[in-house]
Amino acid sequence: MNEIDITSKKSLFRFNLKEVWNYRDLVLLLVKRDFVTNYKQTILGPLWFFLQPLFTTLIFTFLFGRMGKLPTDGIPPMLFYLCSITFWNYFAECFKKNSTTFVDNQSVFGKVYFPRLVLPISVSISNLIRLAIQFGLFLIVYGYFIIFKGAKIPLNPYIMLLPINIILLGFLGLGIGIIISSMTIKYRDLRFIMDFVIQLWMYATVIFPVSSYPIKFRWMADFNPLIPILETTKLGLLGQGTFSLHSYVICVIVTFISLIIGILMFNSTEQNFMDIV
Amino acid sequence: MQNIIEAKNISKLYKLGVVSTGTLSHDLNRWWHKARGKEDPYTLVAESNNRESKGESDYVWSLRDISFDIKAGEIVGIIGKNGAGKSTLLKILSRVTGPTSGSVKLRGRVASLLEVGTGFHPELTGRENLYLNGTILGMTKKEIDRKFDEIVAFSGVERYIDTPVKRYSSGMYVRLAFAVAAHLDPEILIVDEVLAVGDAEFQKKCLGKMKQVSEGEGRTVLFVSHNMSAVKTLCTSAILLQNGRLINQSDNHSIVAQYLASASNASSAVSFEENNAPGTNLAKLLSVKIFNEQGHPEIEQGDGFSIEAEVLVHTQMQGDISITFHLRDELDHLIFVANPSFEKMVFESDGTKTKIRFRCSVAANIMNEGHYRLARVIILNSINVIANVDDVIFFNIVPSRIKNISWQGQKEGIVAPKFNWQIEQIN
């Protein structure tokens, strides 16, 4: 028989991954719910999965590529931006959605217990499926460029890092997201700040390739863990990008530290957040 | 037999007022005390939870040193006035929130029903919501597959199972939601007053299901209710809470008697401040009072009297507004239910708040003397319940001063109407 102990002091490190596993059916149903309800009562329906990144890419291509003439490492601007945006979106969506976990779900959390970590996990998984769909769009556009514009498929070993890059993006979005979610409960100001942070972060990540940084400022890229991920991804897929082992290692370390801190904070918040929220 | 629930000294501290103001400074202060190994400074100043007196401190103990044991197979009623800590206790037992101090040991799977239909999404169909809600409550998909037909049959909404629940009537919604909950297989079932919803037939079905779960399958049920007759018929024992403290734990009949006796120190009027008045942003119950034909709160047997409620109606209110009063005596008999069924107040939004006064007059020479309570006040907007307030007023009907010469003491019977007699000799 399983025993449950409820105490006032919950050990910081006692989180029960087995319990989360017991609720795996809930994770899957929540993912399904996200998909079924997302585009209900829209005319274009799931087509929006494609249209969102496509519009952003067109705007960026026009603004930064055509008008601003910003460098894109010699990659056609459209491909460059679409690739960056597809992967950036995965991170940003995980981050944004997870950073409001507690506030968004308080009506459910206030009435029934289940391991709260189930929700951020389901958010990350449904965004992963979105990424897969949008990656399909990228491949179609890429195919067009290869056939009609003579773009070459690069063959280099960095493509092998793609799955790891996707995992890193997901973990980073999850980790930072739940850190913020644990803090937003009390300090709601963070929710508004987050909008700006995400926008700024996007410009700092998506627009400039590292190769266009003046050598003196290359070190700044180490402070943005997304840059090594996106650079390596572009290097693997499009053949242009900057790979630096030490930046990549820093980024991996930062990702795991934020994930661990996130889970610990989330864990210590979940018990009493209903009194504060 | 082993105890299935053991609660030891659970306490719960709440902060009153607006929570997010000054929290940063309080947090820093707390942290500073912690860093020096001292006790949380705010637990020291907290007061006991008494709604009626305005306290000095911003912190109150919603629960204080609650300890009890419950054996497997019992149905335990938890009773007490509004604000006694019942819901907080259920929240702690169902792990929605943690205690400030103390501990609970639960031996078995717990399912809590603090609300029916938690996590229902309006866009999803009945079938999809059934699965989602079931897994939220702790079932696996396989279990639901196995019980699916049974659940749907219990709910009685077979025809609509593939329709989005936003198209359901509120009754169908509740039926489906409760059907899911009724088919959980927990060792411990925790139920809040969700049974206040739904029609009488369905309530009966729910109560029956709870009894069956406990007797037939040996499960333990914890049940919060203001419905004393449900506690008396359904429960095997009860716990009485008052101002956050456990007053007594004993068999259900003596606890109900104790509750009604303790609650009967009469108060013939109650009023709420607008900010924490019961209700929603559509309408709020501001005050309720009881008085006799002369306007005095003291009612003698034989007097007619009035029950008067004031309701604040906000601008968004559409449709009509109505109210219902339930009156019960000290043995928990339902004496009457009064509602103005044909005289509804119809509303159109005109951009201002208004106050509505409902006055229900009870004719003279009906009620017997004794202790009564206005056990429930319900405010309705069309068919939607806006507020549902229990045990609002406790009042006494005292013996008449104009004593009938031929009779001494209280008349027998629940009511004491005035009769017209014709007595004649007919041979």
Cα separation of B364 and A114, whole Å? 55
Using an 8 Å CB-CB cutoff, list chain B residues near A272. Answer: 97-98
Containing structural domain, residue A252: 17-23+46-276
- Write out pLDDT tens, residues B96-150: 888 888 889 888 888 888 877 778 888 889 999 999 999 988 888 999 999 999 9
**Of the given ranges (A126-135, A138-147, B169-178, B283-292), which has the lowest mean pLDDT?**
B169-178
For residue A237, the distance in angstroms to the closest alpha carbon of chain B comes to 39
Any domain includes A262: yes
User: DSSP of B257-286, one letter per residue?
Assistant: HHHHHHHTS-B-EEE--GGG-SB-SSEEEE
Any domain includes A74: yes
Q: Which of A187, A191, A275, A276 is the mutation pick for testing B, counting most B CBs within 10 A?
A: A275
Any domain includes A68: yes
Using an 8 Å CB-CB cutoff, list chain B residues near A114. Answer: 136, 138
Q: Which of B19, B135, B139, B143 is the mutation pick for testing A, counting most A CBs within 10 A?
A: B135
Using an 8 Å CB-CB cutoff, list chain A residues near B137. Answer: 112
Any domain includes A217: yes
The bridge status of strand B299-300 relative to strand B384-398 is parallel
- Burial (Cβ within 10 Å: 0-12, 13-18, ≥19) of residue B185: middle
- The structural domain count of chain A equals 1
Any domain includes A169: yes
Any domain includes A36: no
* pLDDT tier for residue A168 given thresholds of 50, 70 and 90: very high
Q: Which pLDDT belongs to residue A14? A: 61
- Burial (Cβ within 10 Å: 0-12, 13-18, ≥19) of residue A32: middle
- The stretches in chain B having pLDDT less than 70 are 1, 16-24, 34-35, 37-58, 194-203, 263-266, 342-344, 347-351, 401-410
Query: Per-residue pLDDT for A220 more than 50?
Result: yes
| Binding-site residues on chain A for chain B (CB distance < 8 A) | 1-8, 10, 22-23, 25-26, 28-30, 32-33, 36-37, 40, 107-114, 186-188, 271-272, 274-276
Using an 8 Å CB-CB cutoff, list chain B residues near A4. Answer: 95, 105-107, 110
**Partner-chain contact B100 A8, CB within 8 Å:** yes
Using an 8 Å CB-CB cutoff, list chain B residues near A189. Answer: none
- H/E segment holding residue B290: strand B283-292
Any domain includes A7: no
Could you tell me if B165 lies within 8 Å of chain A, comparing CB atoms? Answer: no
The neighbouring-strand residues paired with B323 are B379
**Partner-chain contact B132 A275, CB within 8 Å:** no
Could you tell me if B39 lies within 8 Å of chain A, comparing CB atoms? Answer: no
**Partner-chain contact A7 B23, CB within 8 Å:** no
Q: Which pLDDT belongs to residue B405? A: 43
**Partner-chain contact B112 A112, CB within 8 Å:** yes
Q: Which residues contact B66 (CB under 8 A, 6 or more apart)?
A: B7, B9, B10, B11, B85, B89, B102, B241, B245, B246
**Partner-chain contact A25 B114, CB within 8 Å:** no
Complex ipTM above 0.85? no
Any domain includes A12: no
Cα separation of B408 and B40, whole Å? 61
For residue B204, the distance in angstroms to the closest alpha carbon of chain A comes to 24
Q: Which pLDDT belongs to residue A92? A: 93
Tell me the torsion sign for CA atoms B17, B18, B19, B21: negative
Q: Which of A4, A5, A11 is the mutation pick for testing B, counting most B CBs within 10 A?
A: A4
Query: Per-residue pLDDT for A169 more than 90?
Result: yes
Residue of chain B with shortest Cα separation from A30? B132
Max distance between CA atoms of chain A, in angstroms, equals: 68
- H/E segment holding residue A204: helix A189-206
